Each structure stands twice: as C-alpha cells, then as structure tokens.
Amino acid sequence: MQTDFFPAPRSEPTPSWAEILGRESTARRPVPIPSVAGRRILVTGAGGFIGAELVWTCVASGASQIVLLEIAEQALFSIDREMTARGCGDQCVPILGSVCDRALLAALFEEYRPEIVIHAAALKHVPLMEHNPFAAVETNSVGTWLLARIAQEHRVRRMILISTDKAVAPHSIMGASKRIAELAMLAHGGFTALRLVNVIGSPGSVAPLFADQIAQGGPITVTHPAARRFFITLDEVVALVAEAMAADSAQGVLVPDPGEPVLIADLARRMIASGDVRIVFTEQRPGDKLEESLISSRERYTVDSSASLRCVSSPAVADLDAQMHALQAAIAARDLPLLLRIVEALVPDYEPSVVLRDAVLALTATTPVAFK
C-alpha cells in the first residue's frame, strides 16, 4: 500500500516527455513547496493538468487546508477522489463553481480564509476560443480580475496566476485574455503572474495529439514547417511555482528560462520511435503564430533577474477597473465589436484573427469597423 501523499507517476510515452525534449529524465516526485506548509490554500482549476499537480504537491508540502475550486464536475470528482484515496481528503474542500461567480468567491474567502491563492483556472485552447471570445474573456480576464480584487480585500499573503507566453503580442483572443489577466495581477500590488510556456504532455496539446496519431499509424499533422514553441515539463512547472512562492520580492510578471524553442516538426520526428509514420503539413490555425516570444517589445527584464525565473518590467493600466466593468457590459450584451475594441485598448499589440475580424464585419456590414 502506498503511504505517502505524492502522486504515482503519470503515464508517459517511452521515452519520457523530458527525454523527448532532450533533457535529463528523473524519477517523478513533486518538488516540495515549503512556503505552503501550515497554510490555507485556494487552487483554482484544481482538477486540471497543472492544477491537480499543484494540489498534490501542496498536500505533500504540508498545507493545512486546500480549497479545490473547479468548474468541471468530472475533473473535480477525480481530484477529490484521488485525495480521499491517498488519505488526505479531510485536508481538501471540493467546490464546484466558476471564478466568474463573485458571490461564490466572496463566500469562499469568508468561510475558508485562504492565505495563498494559486490561480490555474483558464480556458486555453487557441482555435476553440477564437469561436468563443466571450467565454475566453469572461473566464480568463474578468474571472482573474474578480479573484484578485477579492483576494486583496481579504489580505491574501500571495496570489500567483499561471499565465502563458501566448499573452505576449497575442494573435489569439485566448492570448489577449491572458494578458488582461496579467494586467489584473499588476494592478494589485504584491501579486504575481508566472508566464509559462507550453507544458509538454498537457491534454489537448500537440505532444499527446502526436502520440495519438502515431498510435493510429499516422500521419502526424503539423501546421507549418517553421512552427516552433518553447516547452517545459510538468515537474519544471511545480519547481517554478515553488521558486516564485519562496521569493518574497517576486511580484509582477515572472518568466522562466525554458531553453531554446523546438521546431514542432522536430518534436514529431523525435516521437516517431520506429515505423513509417508520415508528417503532413497543413496550415496555421486562426490565432496561431509561427513562434511565441517570452516578452514583448514593450517589456524588459529587470537587472535583478535570475537565470531560472526572471522579473519583467511590464506596462500596467491605470484605469483597469473601469475597463473591466466595460468588458463585463460587452459580455452581458454579447457585443463582439465592443468587446474587441476594449481588448485592443487594453492590449495594444493584440492582432485579432481573421475569424474574429470576419465575425465583426458580418455584424457591422452597414458600419465599417476600423481595425488597427
């Protein structure tokens, strides 16, 4: 019988994700997060790929209580059952709900008084969000802003947003919505946005898709021969969260050093262990870029940046609350032209995809809309 709280290794391909990236493969055991020991923690998106790993790690690191906030019933059921099976169900409080529900958030903070918030809840699939812009902005932008406001009102010691490099000069509404989430962190002193890159192996991402295509005999579909991405492993994510939590001065936007970007076609080739599996190049999807960046042209690394986790000087927005209220009104009215105007004002380097441009033009056929 397993007696500790550490999760058993998740199933990985042979070779492991780390080996596929050309990095040293180590036995899977979570990196402890000493700063959560004895603390009350709120993890949003607690049933997700990153959220569940952080829940397990917080339990193993001695957190006194963890509130598991998750909007997906099955994901919440799974993580709650896992915690109960490992004998630590009493430490966890499963809550089914959304970060967009202000009344729920207020009630959670009143009853459970979390001292640390790890905000991993997000809508993340780029092409899907191009067809669901209201959901993307409501969950990723408005939800983060509401959570940050309530956390600050309740004097939370530390809040960390799990952000993404897709927030840098975004071509997708998902990326733009996550940049607005970063702005919410910048507007609340002492809070942190941890800007991660692609986490290899996460459900719905490119590597598991390739694994499925290889298992079916191919072909592997790659959007473009020049497409490349930065990658990190799930273990590296936990280590970065631990580092961000440990650094008292770590606030604002933090960016890891993920190494060199990997050509997606090369990743596919590494995953083809044997056999005759073809690689077929398709086309870029709406919202995609050939290559992501770690910081924008409007940002710079600060002088005290370290090698593993660098602080970024990133422009904030002075009237964010007013803009967020305007976003809420646009979402409530399902007003796409207004929504995009506000998003473009908040994220000046956002370039809407052809999908959203066409959708706006169809809605405003008699009144031409000027895009940047």
Residue 350 lies in a domain: no
Residue 96: its pLDDT value, please?
98
Residue 173 lies in a domain: yes
Residue 3: its pLDDT value, please?
33
Residue 362 lies in a domain: no
**Which residue range(s) make up the domain with 59?**
24-199+231-259+300-313
288 phi and psi, to 5 degrees? -75, 150
More confident residue, 372 or 255: 255
Kindly report which listed range (11-15, 237-241, 302-306, 344-348) carries the lowest average pLDDT score. Answer: 11-15
**Structural domains in the chain (count):** 1
Q: What is the pLDDT of residues 325-339, one digit of tens each?
A: 999 999 999 999 999
Residue 29: its pLDDT value, please?
55
Q: Residue 363 corresponds to which tokens in the numbers above?
A: 């809605």
Q: What is the pLDDT of residues 195-222, one digit of tens each?
A: 999 999 898 889 999 999 998 988 999 9
Q: What is the DSSP string of 44-70?
A: ETTTSHHHHHHHHHHHHTT-SEEEEEE
Residue 130 lies in a domain: yes
Residues 6+ apart with CB under 8 A from 65: 40, 41, 91, 92, 93, 112
Q: Cβ–Cβ contacts within 10 Å for residue 150, how many?
A: 18
Where residue 369 falls among pLDDT bands split at 50, 70, 90?
A: low
Residue 149 lies in a domain: yes
Residue 75 lies in a domain: yes
Number of helices (H), then strands (E), belonging to the chain: the values are 14, 15
Q: Residue 82 corresponds to which tokens in the numbers above?
A: 């896992």
The rounded distance, in Å, linking the Cα atoms of 25 and 266 is 19
Residue 289 designated active-site: no
Residue 100 lies in a domain: yes
Residue range 56-69: average pLDDT?
A: 95
CATH of the domain at 30: 3.40.50.720
Where residue 53 falls among pLDDT bands split at 50, 70, 90?
A: very high
Amino acid at 160: I
Per-chain mean pLDDT for the chain: 89
DSSP structural state of residue 199: E
Q: What is the DSSP string of 260-280?
A: S-EEHHHHHHHH--SS---EE
Residue 136 lies in a domain: yes
Residue 1: its pLDDT value, please?
28
Residue 4: its pLDDT value, please?
42
Catalytic position from the list 166, 178, 289, 372:
166
Q: What is the pLDDT of residues 117-152, one digit of tens each?
A: 999 999 999 999 999 999 999 999 999 999 999 999
Residue range 65-92: average pLDDT?
A: 95
Where residue 343 falls among pLDDT bands split at 50, 70, 90?
A: very high
The DSSP H or E segment spanning 321 is helix 320-333
Report which of 162, 163, 124, 165 is spatially closest to residue 294, judged by C-alpha positions: 165
Q: What is the pLDDT of residues 193-202, one digit of tens each?
A: 999 999 998 9
Kindly report which listed range (5-14, 29-38, 285-294, 298-307) carries the lowest average pLDDT score. Answer: 5-14
